[in-house]
Amino acid sequence: SQQREEDPQALSIQEGENATMNCSYKTSINNLQWYRQNSGRGLVHLILIRSNEREKHSGRLRVTLDTSKKSSSLLITASRAADTASYFCATRPDTGANSKLTFGKGITLSVRP
């Protein structure tokens, strides 16, 4: 299975600081995506990185992917209180017609004002 591990499980930082969240996976992937979920709400797509990409930026977000280590990191720069949420990485496998995303348990980010 594409067992996923994310670390840290919870992260608390001061507004303005950078937040780095990591995700590791076990099988070959087609792409890896990061999602945000505010408490009790839906999943919001943040960024997608393909298996042949190493780094991607979107606004204050920077995602890296190391397929040799089967890991990804999400960096949020200059964090804001509104960034407080749970962050999930999800992978799309590289095999067959499998169309599902496999999610991890998520990382809870708290940004203190």
Binding residues (CB under 8 A) for other proteins: these are 4, 30-31, 33, 35, 40-45, 48, 50-52, 88, 90, 92, 97-106
Q: Are 34 and 63 in contact (CB under 8 A)?
A: yes
Question: Looking at beta carbons only, is 19 or 46 nearer to other proteins?
Answer: 46
E strand segments, 10-42: 10-14, 19-24, 29-37
Write down the least CB distance from residue 87 to other proteins, Å.
12
Q: What single-letter amino acid sits at 66?
A: D
Write down the least CB distance from residue 74 to other proteins, Å.
16
- Dihedral of alpha carbons 43, 46, 51, 55, sign: negative
Question: Looking at beta carbons only, is 4 or 70 nearer to other proteins?
Answer: 4
Quick one: tokens of 64?
């890296």
Question: Looking at beta carbons only, is 15 or 102 nearer to other proteins?
Answer: 102
Write down the least CB distance from residue 32 to other proteins, Å.
10
Strand, coil or helix: what is 81? helix
